[in-house]
Amino acid sequence: MGFMDNLRRGLERSRETISEIFYMGGEVTEDFWDDLEDTLVMGDMGAEVAMRVTDDLRERAARENLTRSDQLRRALVERLTAEFPVAKRDPFTDTPSIVLFVGINGAGKTTTVGKIAGRAHASGVKTLIGGADTFRAAAIEQLQVWGERSGIEVVTRERGADPASVCFEVVETAAKQGTELVLIDTAGRLHTSSDLMRELAKVVSVTRKRAGDIPVSVVLVIDATTGQNGLNQAKEFNDALSLDGLIVTKLDGTAKGGIALAISNQLNLPIYRIGVGESIDDLQTFDARSFCEALVGEGVQ
Residue 251 annotated as binding site? yes
The helices-and-strands tally (H runs, E runs) of the chain is 12, 8
Residue 187 annotated as binding site? yes
Residue 186 annotated as binding site? yes
Angstrom distances, CA of residue 278 to CA of 6, 114, 275: 11, 12, 8
Residue 11 annotated as binding site? no
Residue 239 annotated as binding site? no
Residue 106 annotated as binding site? yes
Helix axes 30-42, 12-19, angle to 10 degrees: 160
Residue 189 annotated as binding site? yes
Residue 109 annotated as binding site? yes
Residue 110 annotated as binding site? yes
Q: What is the DSSP letter of 21?
A: G
What distance separates the 2 farthest-apart alpha carbons in the chain? 66
Q: Which helix (H) or strand (E) holds 275?
A: strand 271-275
Contact criterion met (CB below 8 Å) for 227 and 44? yes
Residue 185 annotated as binding site? yes
Residue 105 annotated as binding site? yes
Strand 245-249 and strand 271-275: the pairing is parallel
Q: What is the full DSSP assignment across 56-71?
A: HHHHHHHHHT--BGGG
Residue 285 annotated as binding site? no
Looking from the CA of 223 toward its CB, the CA atoms found within 13 Å total 14
Q: What is the DSSP letter of 130?
A: E
Residue 250 annotated as binding site? yes
| Cis ω for the linkage preceding 96 (within 30 of 0) | yes
Known binding-site positions: 103-110, 185-189, 249-252
Known binding-site positions for GTP: 103-110, 185-189, 249-252
